[in-house]
Each structure stands twice: as C-alpha cells, then as structure tokens.
Amino acid sequence: MNMAGAAMAIEQHRRELTAFAAAMVGPDRAEDVVQDACFRLARALERQSVTNQRAYLFRITANLARDLLRRDKRADQHIKTLSRDEHSPGAGEVAALDEQLESLRQAISQLPTKCQRAFVARKYEGLSYREIATREGITEKTVENHIGRALKLLREALAGQQH
C-alpha cells in the first residue's frame, strides 16, 4: 500500500485512536502517541502488508502509551530514590531539582524526532544501539550519530537555561 492509502487509514481512525490514547496517558499527551503510532504504520507499510490496519494502529498506540507510562514511572522512581539519600534536600533544593528535571523534559521534547527516539530508547528504555537500530530500521552508526547529536543539543539547551 502506498503512503496515500496509509494516510487515509490513519485519518479514518485518528479520532478513536486519540480517545483511546487519552484514556491511557491523558488528553495532553494522546496526540503525540497517536502521531507516533501513525508514523509506525506508515513505516510498516513501506516494508510489508498490514491486513488489519485498525488493529495494528490500536496495538501500536497501546504499546506506545504503556512505554510512555513506564518511562514516567522510572523517572518518578529515580526521583524517589534520590530523595531517600542520606542527605535530605530542603524545599529550595527540591524546587531546583524539579525545575532542572522539567527543563530536561522540555529539552528532550524539542529534539528532532529521530534524535529523540534514539535518545529515549537508549537512556530511558535501556536498549542497546543494536536493538535501537533493529527497531528503527537504521544502522548502529546512525543510532550513534542520533544519540550524539541529541546529547549535544541537550547540553546546549540546558547550558543556555543556566545563564
């Protein structure tokens, strides 16, 4: 199927996919999840035939929403671990850490899509370069380049916020 056919299938199911994703991750993040699912359908159609596109879209949307929730949970657990350290930060330190974390989240969300996907897969999902390359259909060297670019852009974004 060509890309025009994929676009038709996506538009046909977008509203119900968005409602489905919103029930899992909230309305503010649902559109991003659906967008990613649609992107994956389009990529899958380039490589293979997908007989039930609606089922494929719902399965991918559910998987992406669960991945997003897992990343959120890991971030929350990391914050809780930090707060259990011997040194108990004061309210000012906690506020500063929250601000830094939000700055990092915003900087990650502003990364180019390919860099963001590779960075999140490596740093939050713990995937190897090889696993990311296989999942994304690119070479390990390309994964390395995407992650390197993401780190450079994040350093620049965060350094710019501290001045």
CATH code (residue 127): 1.10.10.10
Check whether residue 28 and residue 60 sit in a common domain.
Answer: yes
Q: What is the pLDDT of residue 146?
A: 93
Q: Of the candidates 68, 102, 119, which is a domain's last residue?
A: 68
Q: What is the pLDDT of residue 17?
A: 87
Query: Is 112 contained in some domain?
Result: yes
**Token pair 């502003």 is at which residue?**
110
Query: Is 33 contained in some domain?
Result: yes
Check whether residue 108 and residue 147 sit in a common domain.
Answer: yes
Check whether residue 96 and residue 162 sit in a common domain.
Answer: yes
DSSP state at residue 88: -
Q: What is the pLDDT of residue 137?
A: 93
Check whether residue 136 and residue 93 sit in a common domain.
Answer: yes
Check whether residue 94 and residue 161 sit in a common domain.
Answer: yes
Query: Is 83 contained in some domain?
Result: no
Check whether residue 8 and residue 49 sit in a common domain.
Answer: yes
Check whether residue 94 and residue 36 sit in a common domain.
Answer: no
**Token pair 């994703």 is at which residue?**
21
Check whether residue 109 and residue 152 sit in a common domain.
Answer: yes
Query: Is 81 contained in some domain?
Result: no
Q: What is the pLDDT of residue 138?
A: 94
Query: Is 77 contained in some domain?
Result: no
Q: Of the candidates 68, 100, 125, which is a domain's last residue?
A: 68
- Can you spell out the DSSP letters for 112-128? -HHHHHHHHHHHTS---
Q: Of the candidates 68, 98, 121, which is a domain's last residue?
A: 68
Per-residue pLDDT, averaged over 133-142, amounts to 93
Q: What is the pLDDT of residue 145?
A: 94
Q: Encode pLDDT of 74-130 as tens digits.
A: 777 767 666 665 555 567 777 777 788 888 888 888 899 999 999 888 888 888 899
Return the amino acid letter for 16: E
Total structural domains within the chain: 2
Q: What is the pLDDT of residue 130?
A: 92
Lowest mean pLDDT among 17-31, 64-78, 145-159: 64-78
- Can you spell out the DSSP letters for 127-156? --HHHHHHHHTS-HHHHHHHHHHHHHHHHH
**Could you give the CA distance from residue 98 to residue 71 in angstroms, rounded to a whole number?**
17
Cα-Cα-Cα-Cα dihedral of 50, 52, 58, 61, to 10°? 10
Check whether residue 109 and residue 54 sit in a common domain.
Answer: no
What is this structure's pTM? 0.45
Domain of residue 150 covers 89-163
Query: Is 125 contained in some domain?
Result: yes
Q: Encode pLDDT of 5-39 as tens digits.
A: 667 777 888 888 889 888 888 888 888 888 888 88
Q: What is the pLDDT of residue 84?
A: 61
